[in-house]
Amino acid sequence: MNVSLTVNGKPVECDIEERTLLSDLLREQLGLTGTHRGCDTAQCGACTVHLDGVAVKSCNLLALQAAGGSVTTIERIAAGDGSLHPMQEAFRECHGLQCGFCTPGMVMSAIDLVRRCPEPDVGAIREGLEGNLCRCTGYDNIVQAVALGARHMRG
Ligand code: FES
Ligand code: FES
């Protein structure tokens, strides 16, 4: 089957199988390996991307379900000059990562959370990220990073 969508601002057309997951299309056909694959069962959030501006788990969507849509991955979050997105910068400042495996998904979910709730308190951050798992950090630094990222995003 043929699918057309926009990925990171560029039109893309791919031949896929009906069962191809969006995460597989991104990683294997488009080489966007910043979108990680942890569980493939919609539990860990490592594969989180934005579809039409909303955070989704790309292992839980068929590529066909994104047809005609606009997908943004972690590769597109930094500015054109390479400077980090405010949320990425906050993760760096607060040491919100250790191995980094969960980080792309955490950042994509956090940006979506802050767009919907510009001043999240600790409870809202923890609730907003409950679909993203981290094996390393114990979450406290991630929560601090998202709070700081929210402040940065508000300017
Ligand atoms: S790989 Fe998609 S939620 Fe874990
Ligand atoms: S930093 Fe290692 S899984 Fe989160």
pLDDT in tens, the chain (155 residues): 999 999 999 999 999 999 999 999 999 999 999 999 999 999 999 999 999 999 999 999 999 999 999 999 999 999 999 999 999 999 999 999 999 999 999 999 999 999 999 999 999 999 999 999 999 999 999 999 999 999 999 98
> Separation of 96 CA from ligand 2 center, angstroms?
9
CATH number, domain with residue 114: 1.10.150.120
Atom of ligand 2 nearest to the CA of 100: 1
Strands 2-7 and 70-72: parallel
Are 41 and 7 contained in the same domain? yes
Q: Whose CA is nearest to atom 2 of ligand 2?
A: 99
Helix (H, G, I), strand (E, B) or coil at 44: coil
Domain assignment of residue 81, yes or no: no
Residue 36 and residue 72 share a domain: yes
Number of separate domains in the chain: 2
What is d(CA 59, CA 37) in angstroms, rounded to the nearest whole number?
A: 7
Boundaries of domain holding 51: 2-76
Of 53, 76, 99, the residue at which a domain comes to its end is 76
Q: Is 106 in the pocket of ligand 1 (CB under 6 A)?
A: no
